Chains A and B, each alone.
Chain A
Amino acid sequence: MDREIRIKAEPVDGSRCRFVVSEPLLEGARRFASPDEAAGSPLAVELFAVAGVREVLVSGATVTVTKDGPAPWQAVGKEIGAAIRRALAAGGPTVAAAPPASSASDESLYARVADLFEAEINPAVARHGGFVELVDVQDAVVMLRMGGGCQGCGMADVTLRQGIETALRQRVPEVAGIVDITDHAAGANPYVTASKK
């Protein structure tokens, strides 16, 4: 009997969108920077088959897709959803475990980013009842998840881009990018909530 797979799309910006799936996909996180890295991971293979998909990040039950081109997420998202469902319907692991270590430099970066989060980022966001979790560093891309007052906050994007990203670029300039894999729609206690106008 077919099982119901629910997928919630949360566009981050014009090029990135998170898809929160009702089933776990991977314990831990893995980033796929190109189709070449997708071999052995049916989910990534399916997603790279969607036109414009440039990068895939799988973390727990969340898939963060980066695409090229102007097509709106609202349109591309349906193809992404179908690709995720196909991969899950095939049975078996959808994503192979990440290689033992992406690289020595990622390990080093992880430690430095973790130190920065511990020493500066989290003390700062704690003032607004928030916290930021470092999920992983792969190919110099930092994957993070926001929680507490940051999750679902109307100003989360400002905090991420003007605060966290700036700090990372200043203190760990080798960081090539940041991906926020937070399920902001599930945030039950955001620091600020948007109003109509």
Chain B
Amino acid sequence: MGARARLLLLLPSTTYRAAAFVEAARRLDVDLTVASDQDSAFSAREPERLATFDFAHRDTAAEEAAAFAAAHPVAAVVGVDDDTAILAAAMAERLGLPHNPVAATLAARNKLEQRRALAAAGVPVPAFAVHALDEGPLAVARAAPYPCVVKPLCLSASRGVIRADGPEAFVAAHGVLAEILGSPDAARRGEDSRRYLVESFVPGPEFALEGLLEAGRLRVLALFDKPDPLDGPTFEETIYLTPSRLDRTAQRALEACAARAAAAVGLVSGPVHVELRFNDAGPWLIELGARPIGGRCSAVLRFGEGAAAISLEELLLRHALGLPVPAVERETAAAGVMMIPVPGAGVLRAVRGVEAARAVPGVEDVAITAHPGQRLVPLPRGDRYPGFIFARGGEPAGVEAALRRAHACLRFDLAPQGD
């Protein structure tokens, strides 16, 4: 018998996904090492299981991983978000393991590089231009196409993404974006925090595609409808519903667009999360990430039926470790998740109505992830959801209705900022 495989799992200390990935690794009975950007309370005691790498410096982190692997051979390196996807690629390259090209993960992470690669490959993307933050906004505003969207190069989850319908709105959006990009967490991204994109606004409904790349071939794991219009001025994600109610021909067009986009960027292996729009001109690629779906949303996905069903995290770990993947077909039930919108700016005191929300037929869980005392910050500045609602049922329409009814039950008790 050979030694048990060791999985090096890269978990940023602020991830929502620790529990889901750790549980998936336990189910696979692999030796698990969690590497993070901050020391665990047990790092010194359990160096084989808990590593701390310099996530801010890719080359350093890759060397740290190599030093670790010299003592504890690693079979696979898995990242869980945009940033750790880059680190995972660099570490896997250093260790001689199968991986995405580092350049591809970097291109996926950087919205400008991504758009350049997509446009060069003929993938339909919004018209875009890049500007320095310190360019005079009035001049840029005069030349911008309207409606347009200002967008940071390096942030996630719609943070700093603002629609402007005219020069006055553009200048206001620029001011907000400059403030966000001046914050310490954004500024640490260097040059990318001093530039931004101006894109044409693409009308039409938006969709999210969850996929797995196997030797460059895209397998579609789920296509989500986003039934709430995302027309700005900010772009708050709320409901994801699957299966999609879009007609099959249009779905195939979205899938083909996502596959072309992944190839254009150079991704070949592992998860992709793709956001697309669809209108009379066909599919439009809005964002591509070399990562799985964010937040706690993956809990809505199950693959296979009955006792054989596995989570998205288990599917991804199996793929990374070269283990058999029993099913990549999503279950037959309709499923949905609502990322609970930030109810306003303030300090969370309490959330009421959670039990009533859970009691709504079709609702499976209401998870409040914000803690009492946490400051809630709406878009475009915020970067945290207060929680998630999950529902499942026979048809997407019923699932959507259940999510909305449950959300209507919730009451957030906020203290004013600075209270």
In the assembled complex, the CB of A113 is this many whole angstroms from the nearest CB of chain B, namely 16
The verdict on B217 contacting chain A, using a C-beta distance below 8 Å, is no
- Inter-chain contact B354/A197, CB cutoff 8 Å: no
Q: Closest A-chain residue to B306, C-beta based?
A: A70
From 1 to 54 in chain A, residues with beta carbon under 8 angstroms from any chain B beta carbon are: 6-9, 11-14
- Inter-chain contact A70/B45, CB cutoff 8 Å: no
Q: Closest A-chain residue to B358, C-beta based?
A: A9
Known: A69-B307, A154-B13. A197 touches B40 (CB 8 A): no
The verdict on B110 contacting chain A, using a C-beta distance below 8 Å, is no
- Inter-chain contact A193/B34, CB cutoff 8 Å: no
Q: Which residues of A contact B374 (CB under 8 A)?
A: 193
Known: A13-B19, A70-B306. A158 touches B295 (CB 8 A): no
In the assembled complex, the CB of A161 is this many whole angstroms from the nearest CB of chain B, namely 5
Q: A70-B308, A155-B13, A190-B371 are in contact. List 13 more A-B contacts (CB 8 A).
A: A73-B364, A124-B41, A157-B18, A157-B19, A159-B41, A163-B41, A186-B371, A194-B384, A196-B294, A196-B385, A197-B82, A197-B294, A197-B295
- Inter-chain contact A125/B41, CB cutoff 8 Å: yes
- Inter-chain contact A162/B157, CB cutoff 8 Å: no
The verdict on B390 contacting chain A, using a C-beta distance below 8 Å, is yes
Q: Which residues of A contact B156 (CB under 8 A)?
A: 196-197
The verdict on B14 contacting chain A, using a C-beta distance below 8 Å, is yes
A interface residues with partner B (beta carbon < 8 Å) = 6-9, 11-14, 69-70, 72-75, 77-78, 120, 124-125, 127-128, 130, 152, 154-159, 161-164, 166-167, 185-190, 192-197
The verdict on B46 contacting chain A, using a C-beta distance below 8 Å, is yes
From 35 to 59 in chain B, residues with beta carbon under 8 angstroms from any chain A beta carbon are: 36, 38, 40-42, 44-46, 49-50
The 8 Å CB contact of B50, one of A69, A158, A192, is A158
Interface size on B, residues (CB 8 A): 55
Interface string of B5-16 (1 = CB under 8 A from A): 000000101111
- Inter-chain contact B383/A162, CB cutoff 8 Å: no
Q: Which residues of B contact A156 (CB under 8 A)?
A: 18
The verdict on B311 contacting chain A, using a C-beta distance below 8 Å, is yes
- Inter-chain contact A161/B22, CB cutoff 8 Å: yes
- Inter-chain contact A155/B36, CB cutoff 8 Å: yes
A193, B291: Cα distance in complex, Å? 20
A157, B23: Cα distance in complex, Å? 9
The verdict on B372 contacting chain A, using a C-beta distance below 8 Å, is yes
A58, B78: Cα distance in complex, Å? 37
- Inter-chain contact A7/B355, CB cutoff 8 Å: yes
Q: Which residues of A contact B359 (CB under 8 A)?
A: 78
A15, B243: Cα distance in complex, Å? 26
- Inter-chain contact A193/B14, CB cutoff 8 Å: yes
B interface residues with partner A (beta carbon < 8 Å) = 11, 13-16, 18-19, 22-23, 26-27, 32, 34, 36, 38, 40-42, 44-46, 49-50, 81-82, 156-157, 159, 291, 294-295, 302, 306-309, 311, 354-355, 358-359, 363-365, 368-369, 371-374, 383-385, 390, 392
Q: Which residues of A contact B363 (CB under 8 A)?
A: 74
Known: A6-B355, A74-B365. A158 touches B385 (CB 8 A): no
The 8 Å CB contact of B18, one of A70, A152, A158, is A158
A103, B210: Cα distance in complex, Å? 51
Q: Closest A-chain residue to B363, C-beta based?
A: A74
Residue among A9, A75, A77, A130 with the highest chain B CB neighbour number at 10 A: A9
A75, B309: Cα distance in complex, Å? 15
Known: A190-B371, A193-B371. A70 touches B157 (CB 8 A): no
Q: Which residues of B contact A186 (CB under 8 A)?
A: 371-372
Q: List 9 A-B contacts (CB under 8 A).
A: A11-B365, A78-B359, A124-B41, A124-B44, A154-B16, A162-B34, A192-B13, A193-B374, A196-B294
The 8 Å CB contact of A187, one of B45, B364, B371, is B371
Q: Which residues of B contact A161 (CB under 8 A)?
A: 22, 26
Q: Which residues of B contact A130 (CB under 8 A)?
A: 41
A125, B43: Cα distance in complex, Å? 11
A194, B339: Cα distance in complex, Å? 14
Q: Which residues of B contact A158 (CB under 8 A)?
A: 11, 18, 22, 34, 36, 40, 50
Q: Closest A-chain residue to B384, C-beta based?
A: A195
The list of the 10 closest CB pairs from A to B, nearest first, reads A74-B364, A163-B42, A196-B157, A197-B156, A74-B365, A194-B16, A157-B19, A13-B23, A197-B294, A162-B49
A188, B375: Cα distance in complex, Å? 12
- Inter-chain contact B40/A162, CB cutoff 8 Å: yes
The 8 Å CB contact of B354, one of A8, A120, A152, is A8
